[in-house]
Amino acid sequence: MSDELKQHIASAFDRDLEGIQAQILKMGGLVEVAIHDAAKSLETRDEELAGQVVTGDEAIDAMDEALNEEAARVIALRAPTATDLRVVLSVMRMSANLERIGDLSKNLAKRTTVLAQMTQINGSTTALRRMARDVELMLKDALDAYIKRDEALALDVLDRDRDVDQMYNTLFREFLTFMLEDPRNITSCMHLHFIAKNIERMGDHVTSIAEQVVFLATGSTPDEARVKEDRTSSDPSLSTDIELE
Amino acid sequence: MSDELKQHIASAFDRDLEGIQAQILKMGGLVEVAIHDAAKSLETRDEELAGQVVTGDEAIDAMDEALNEEAARVIALRAPTATDLRVVLSVMRMSANLERIGDLSKNLAKRTTVLAQMTQINGSTTALRRMARDVELMLKDALDAYIKRDEALALDVLDRDRDVDQMYNTLFREFLTFMLEDPRNITSCMHLHFIAKNIERMGDHVTSIAEQVVFLATGSTPDEARVKEDRTSSDPSLSTDIELE
């Protein structure tokens, strides 16, 4: 193969890759809006906005499908080298993560109607919205880190997911306490707990995107084995001390 | 390229593919055992068995990584055609699904210790184990369907996931009722609900594997838009009628 031909193929691949990366950023932007609007609709009980999030998820799903097709097309057509292949595969994984965050946002938005009919739990939706806001900013930074192959920023995102996990654990305790105080709070708190868990899972998907960035930037996964803990699953004191109250 | 060379490359790809498919089946087998043992440890409060599930998840994670590397190697080396590429990419997606089911099994197993210390809720762990058993069989059939490219069996798996969703919705109602009847049940029921939700999510991942099979067998995704519903999110009556009791 002549050098000229190689060069031509390489730049065609670069163009393809730029196209894919532009798509993933556009998709990321839609998902940021979905998180934001879902959390806002919950706090303000805005059923119209919630409806927009639900409808808007179709566009996100369609982008995921288009991205996968495009990535497969590029792999088949360009037969990229190991490093380039890694970039394309990482985009496919990121797309899957974004699609799942979109689904989780849709689930959040769907609870707006239910929550609007229930006993209000003081301050809870504000706390949930703050948690969602953190996840939204984490996603924004993870995507920025991706574009700049910025390992430090990606590690910062990983770090912040621990705070989100912590917020979730705190809320879990709070909801349990509310339920124990007054059984009329049980149904509301079950729904609020669902919501908190949903947001916590969004954080996990953002984490997975940030891990891809670290991998792309450094060629290895984040040093520290991330101790991903839903503490409610393994900390007996969390439940027993509440039970003894 | 001579026909002989083409033939040689094709058979090398086939061998690679067979290797990858053997790996995914082995991984699937480990995940089936993980589901089974996690549910059993919950029902029998067998903390030793639970510990084995937690430790065993490392092997599943390692297989996921190895599979991804191997698949990427095959794509880079063989530059498969569109159809062959689709098979390799589907294996990567299936591997991601299996890895997640492994994680969810680990989460289940971790709750054994917590649950052992709590108020027993009559019959609940038996119902949960039955639900887990269904998911385990669905996974077995999804993998069989994959090997045989058996669309009918894959569609049957998709169908059975609706039953699992239904079991989850029933359990959710039951747990709410138990909590409302006696606040001392609240903490146990919150944990039991987590478990039910975990199993329901395993079913979703099996569904995703079955959808891959349909796609591989027919070239298109399942006709019927699957109405995947966690009914607790959108059915206000589910909560309000209980709340009014």
Most confident of A14-18, A67-71, A208-212: A208-212
A139 is written with which tokens?
A: 């996603």
Neighbours of B176 (CB within 10 A): 21
> Long-range contacts for A57-62 (Cβ within 8 Å, ≥24 apart)?
A57/A102, A57/A103, A57/A105, A57/A106, A59/A30, A60/A27, A60/A30, A60/A31, A60/A34, A60/A98, A60/A99, A60/A102, A61/A99, A61/A102
Rounded to 5 degrees, φ, ψ at B61 are -60, -40
In this structure, the number of other CB atoms found within 10 A of the CB of residue B167 comes to 20
Contacts with B239 (C-beta within 8 Å, 6 or more apart), sequence order: A114, A117, A118, A187, A190, A191, B176, B232
Show the tokens assigned to B226: 């699957």
User: What pLDDT, on the 0 to 100 scale, is given for residue A222?
Assistant: 73
A149: left (phi over 0), alpha (psi -120 to 50) or beta: left
| pLDDT average, residue stretch B203-218 | 93
B221: nearest CA in chain A?
A65
Report the gap between the CA of B79 and the closest CA in chain A (Å).
Answer: 5
* In the predicted structure, residue A108 carries a pLDDT above the cut 70: yes
pLDDT at B38 (0 to 100): 95
Residues from A in contact with B at Cβ < 8 Å: 68, 72-73, 75-76, 79-82, 85-86, 89, 92-93, 96, 107, 110-111, 113-114, 117-119, 176, 179-180, 183-184, 186-187, 190-191, 193-194, 197, 230, 232-236, 239-240, 242-243
Nearest CB among A79, A186, A234 relative to B110 is that of A234
Give me chain B's average pLDDT, please: 86
Cα separation, A245 vs A240, in Å, equals 9
Query: Residue B86: what pLDDT?
Result: 83
In tens, the pLDDT along A72-93 reads 888 878 878 878 888 888 898 8
The architecture (CATH level 2) of B3-243 comes to Up-down Bundle (1.20)
How does residue B237 score in pLDDT terms, banded at 50, 70 and 90?
Answer: very low
Find the angle CA(B167)-CA(B173)-CA(B174) to the nearest 5 degrees. Answer: 85
Searching chain B, which residue's CA lies closest to the CA of residue A236? B114
Residue % of chain B over a pLDDT of 90 = 53
Q: What distance in Å separates residue A172's CA from the closest CA in chain B? A: 10
Q: Of A117, A176, A233, which has the smallest distance from its Cβ to B187's Cβ?
A: A176
pLDDT band at A242 (very low <50, low <70, confident <90, very high): very low
Task: Please answer yes or no on whether B89 and A72 come within 8 Å at the CB atom.
Answer: yes
- How far CA B192 is from CA of A99, A141, B171, B221, in Å, comes to 28, 36, 9, 34
Does the beta-carbon distance from A118 to B243 stay under 8 Å?
yes
Check if the beta carbon of residue A68 is closer than 8 Å to that of residue A95. yes
- Two tokens, residue A90: 């990482």
Span B41-66, average pLDDT: 94
Helix (H, G, I), strand (E, B) or coil at B79: coil
Q: How far is it, in rounded angstroms, from Cα A161 to Cα A9?
A: 40
Using the predicted structure, report yes or no on whether residue A67 has a pLDDT greater than 60. Answer: yes
- Chain A residues with CB-CB distance to B233 below 8 A: 107, 110-111, 114, 194
User: What pLDDT, on the 0 to 100 scale, is given for residue A6?
Assistant: 67
Map tokens 């689904």 to a residue.
A103
Query: In this structure, what DSSP letter does residue B225 have?
Result: P
**Minimum-distance CB partner of A239 among B76, B81, B191:** B191
- Do the beta carbons of residue B157 and residue B206 sit within 8 Å? yes
Q: What is the ipTM, given to two decimal places?
A: 0.73
The secondary structure of A86-127, three-state, reads HHHHHHHHHHHHHHHHHHHHHHHHHHHHHHHCCCCCCCHHHH
State pLDDT tens for residues B211-236: 999 988 887 777 544 444 455 654 44
pLDDT tens digits, A128-178: 999 999 999 999 999 999 999 999 999 999 999 999 999 999 999 999 899
- Summarised one tens digit per residue, pLDDT across range B146-195 is 999 999 999 999 999 999 999 999 999 999 899 988 888 898 898 899 89
Lowest mean pLDDT among A11-15, A150-154, B105-109: A11-15
Choose the weakest-confidence range: A50-54, A125-129, A199-203. Answer: A125-129
Mean pLDDT computed over every residue of chain A: 86
The residue that leads in pLDDT, A31 or B112, is: A31
Burial class (CB in 10 A: 0-12, 13-18, 19+), B143: buried
- Residue A114 C-alpha, separation from nearest chain B C-alpha, in angstroms: 5
Radius of gyration of chain B (CA): 21
Q: How many inter-chain contacts (A to B, CB under 8 Å) are there?
A: 105
Minimum mean pLDDT range among A7-16, A233-242, B166-175 = A233-242
Judge: domain A3-240, CATH 3.40.50.300.
no
CA atoms of B105 and B49, how far apart (whole Å):
12
Res. A232: pLDDT tops 70: no
Provide the 3-class DSSP secondary structure of residue A218.
Answer: helix
Tokens of B18: 């067979």
Which tokens belong to A15? 């163009």
pLDDT in tens, A110-132: 998 888 888 777 788 889 999 99
